[in-house]
Structure 1
Amino acid sequence: MTTETDFEVISAILSAEPISVDKAIAAVESDTAGAVVSFSGVVRNHDGGKPVDRLSYSAHPTAHQVMADVVAKLVAEHPGEAAQPVRIWAAHRIGLLEIGEPALVCAVAAAHRGQAFAVCSELVDRIKAQVPIWKEQFFSDGTVEWVGAGE
């Protein structure tokens, strides 16, 4: 039988369904974690001084594997302590999102707050930089802008 301290919980998914910070936190919490840090990147109602009505995220067919690889590499670089491995949960939405909906949710549990904050910040940066996901912004004036395409 495997105990909770024998492995790290890693979830790295793309989801067409709504994602939740509460679900992310619950997935990484443990009795041995001294810190749990979460991040929720939500759809805002403006960008570049223009009002935004909604967004749509599209993912390359390899995005699921890239997301898993990004999280696995980060865990390998931050093994934690024997009694408290670093635990990571991450999900990025795909499809149509309305204002206020979470687009990227991450949670990290670690023995100490400094490591939890650092890993969560690095996780968000790596997902945004490496996972092939593109954002289509629909502005109130009827114009559309792609972000991430061709970068």
Structure 2
Amino acid sequence: MIVLARISDVDLDVAAHVNAVAAPDAGATALFVGTVRDNDPDARGQVVELEYSAHPDSERILREIAERVDRPGVRIAVSHRVGRLPVGGVAIVAAVSSVHRGDAFDLDRDLVETVKAELPIWKKQIESDGSHTWVGLGRVAT
């Protein structure tokens, strides 16, 4: 069951995602929190900030991705941030609850990897010297 699939221009609430997937029959909750780091292989120097931009259909596509990994007895809450984020800022939260931990772990990883590969969100990496690099511009919405 998809309980949350959202693109947000405000800070993501990790606890709200965990609470959204909580249920009496859930014996496990797997959580992924992706944060902005100060380095990247595409950067020439230190990253100080990211600016995320999203295709207008990104929220619909995020929901479709969540629906593809959904299984009976599972609850999914996933959000991706857009806008400017400092180092340490939360860019993505994915929470999956299930009766068993293996399902929660596996589905949460599948969800995050698919979002990373398919969601039409692009990031502009701003470096300490003021230069910037775009990442993900090759993706287009379907």
- Please give the range of the TM-score, normalised by the shorter of the 2 chains: over 0.9
Of 31, 52, 64 in structure 1, the residue corresponding to residue 59 of structure 2 is: 64
- 1:127 correspondence with 2:115: yes
After superposing on structure 2, the runs of 4+ consecutive aligned residues of structure 1 that deviate more than 4 Å are none
* Contact 1:138-1:144 at 8 Å conserved across structures: yes
**Residue 46 of structure 2: SS of its match in structure 1?**
strand
Of 35, 51, 70 in structure 1, the residue corresponding to residue 46 of structure 2 is: 51
- CA RMSD for the aligned pairs? 1.1
How far did 1:10 drift? 2.2
* Contact 1:12-1:91 at 8 Å conserved across structures: yes
Query: Matched residues in 2 for 1:46 and 1:128: separation?
Result: 18
Look up the match of 2:81: 93
* Contact 1:11-1:88 at 8 Å conserved across structures: yes
Q: Specify the code of the residue in structure 2 equivalent to 1:59.
A: A
Of 33, 36, 39 in structure 1, the residue corresponding to residue 32 of structure 2 is: 39
Look up the match of 1:146: 134
**Residue 52 of structure 2: SS of its match in structure 1?**
strand
Look up the match of 2:12: 19
Larger-Rg structure: 1
Query: Matched residues in 2 for 1:22 and 1:55: separation?
Result: 23
* Contact 1:54-1:98 at 8 Å conserved across structures: yes
How far did 1:50 drift? 2.3
Q: Specify the code of the residue in structure 1 equivalent to 2:62.
A: M
* Contact 1:10-1:72 at 8 Å conserved across structures: no
* Contact 2:2-2:67 at 8 Å conserved across structures: no
TM-score (ref. length: structure 1):
0.87
- 1:106 correspondence with 2:101: no
Query: Matched residues in 1 for 2:66 and 2:125: separation?
Result: 27
What stretches of structure 2 of length at least 5 have no aligned partner? none
